[in-house]
Amino acid sequence: MLLRPLFYSFFLLLTFSACKKDENTTPVSEDPNLITGVFSATRSGVFQEQNGYQAEGTAQIGIDGANVQWLRLAPDFNTTLSTGAVTVYLSQNKNLNLGASGTFKRLELVTSPGEHFYKVDPAVGIDFKFAILWCSSAGVQFGNAALN
């Protein structure tokens, strides 16, 4: 029984250190200047926090002036640890199941709060109804937004 408290302490330490805030991250592909023309949202939702982690703001699926599909995290987007260890997924389910291939699409890392654009494969259809925030190094879902 003494091992159980040690295990929980280790798990919490791993979770917080694995997705810790890192001020030296560089945006990968979320530059709003990558879109062409005006972004037009077709579906949107508001992030709901999960597992005790903050997640807030708006997620939108839409197209730009060149008819390229994007996931947009609006300027009001924020999460507890948007540091390069949190990954954005599109999923068919509210809770990400990495063991069920075909039910999710990995997009990119989140490196900071605020507005981001992530290019979405044209094959991703309306059955991908959730934007998911996932800390892969700790295996914890931070939040989801239902895209209606």
Indicate if the alpha-carbon torsion angle 72, 67, 100, 30 is positive or negative: negative
pLDDT of residue 122: 87
pTM: 0.78
Average pLDDT over residues 101-117: 93
User: In the structure, what pLDDT confidence band is assigned to residue 34 with cuts at 50, 70 and 90?
Assistant: confident
The confidence score (pLDDT) of residue 136 equals 82
Task: Give the full edge-to-edge strand order of the sheet including 69-73.
Answer: 40-46, 58-63, 69-73, 116-119
Q: What is the pLDDT of residue 84?
A: 72
- Residue length, the chain? 148
Question: Concatenated DSSP letters for 60-84?
Answer: EEEE-TT--EEEEE-TT-EETT-SS
Residue 11 has pLDDT above 90, yes or no: no
What are the structural domain ranges in the chain? 3-20+28-146
